[in-house]
Amino acid sequence: MKTNWISLLTIIAFVAFLATACEKDQNVMNEDVITAEDEMITDAAFDDVFSEVDGLLNLMDQSNYESSSLKSTMGSDTCPVISVITEGSFWPRTIVVDYGEGCDVSWFHFKERIRKGKIIIKVSGPMWVEGSYREVTFEDFSINDFKVEGRRTVSNEGNWEEGEYQGLLYFSVMLEGGKVTTPEGQVLTKEVSRTRTFVEGFDTRWDTRDDKWHINGVATGINRNGVAFTREITSPLWKEIGCRFITHGTILLQAEGRPDAILDYGDGTCDADATITINGETRTIRLRRW
């Protein structure tokens, strides 16, 4: 009987050990998934804002930067309030988009977004002219209660002179002090240095629905648990204006004390699915919806 009790206790201890080990392994995987999910949350937030900015400036280009001509297009006379400020000559111009205490304006591609606060855009000249740039900052701005901060500068670098994109127009993109605060108070930070190459849609400049960009570069940040990470695009990300998600491309995620992870956005299909692979194990995750 004593031997049986010892055997039983041994089995219980062994099972407990396995359970603890499995939980530990699961936590490792979960931490890596958190880093990937936080990366996509910041991407979704900033992509939403900058798609909004691109759409607005496209309309502003067509209207010669007269804000009054946008009212019928935006579907509201009161929200957001758009102001155009000049500094003597025509350029540079500053556009202030003021959503006030909050409004849902579906004047571009996306719907059901409650935006609050201000987006401030400084434009040095027409963005189709080499050397021109636009700078975007925020004042108490949020999307669906995700607060967005930082300074983003996009510069027209002209056409690639060599390589696989030779002859195609590209832009440099810098994000400094990027930060997204979730409704639960979690803080995600991000700094970006990358290029966006205009692959398709240049011939229909005023119709952005067929635009396709390839994105390359690196980013650094800190996830919700305070873990610093580096993101390197290892296969160009495909951004199609008609889809709210990245549709193709891979990213190498490296975080402090964590194994390397590969984030794969898929085969080009516009959907919310992506995969993350760590140490040969792959898990499907859903991209953030707004």
What number of other Cβ atoms are within 10 A of residue 103's Cβ?
16
> What mean pLDDT do residues 224-241 have?
90
Question: Domain tally for the chain?
Answer: 1
Whether residue 174 is contained in a domain is answered as yes
CA distances from 17 to 3, 26, 227 (A): 21, 14, 27
How many whole angstroms separate alpha carbon 154 and alpha carbon 258?
32
Rg (CA), the chain: 23
Contact 41, 288 (CB under 8 A): yes
Whether residue 6 is contained in a domain is answered as no
| Residue 160: domain span | 11-286
What SS3 state is found at 115?
strand
Using 50, 70 and 90 to split pLDDT, how confident is the model at 86?
confident
* 52-56, 221-225, 261-265: the lowest-pLDDT one: 52-56
Task: Give the model's pLDDT for residue 238.
Answer: 92
Closest CA to 153 of 224, 231, 92, 86: 92
Contact 84, 65 (CB under 8 A): yes
Identify the residue with better confidence: 48 or 223.
223
Using 50, 70 and 90 to split pLDDT, how confident is the model at 106?
low
How many whole angstroms separate alpha carbon 272 and alpha carbon 261?
19
Tokens of 260: 């390397």
Whether residue 5 is contained in a domain is answered as no
Whether residue 98 is contained in a domain is answered as yes
How many whole angstroms separate alpha carbon 92 and alpha carbon 119?
17
Using 50, 70 and 90 to split pLDDT, how confident is the model at 27?
very low
256 Cβ neighbours under 8 A, 6+ residues apart = 227, 228, 229
| Helix, strand, coil distribution of the chain in percent, nearest 5 | 25, 45, 30
Helix (H) / strand (E) element for 55: namely helix 2-62
**pTM of the full structure:** 0.78
20 Cβ neighbours under 8 A, 6+ residues apart = none
Residue 89 has pLDDT above 60, yes or no: yes
The model's pLDDT over 166-215, given as tens digits with 9 standing for 90+, comes to 999 999 999 999 999 999 999 999 999 999 999 988 777 666 777 899 99
Contact 169, 178 (CB under 8 A): no
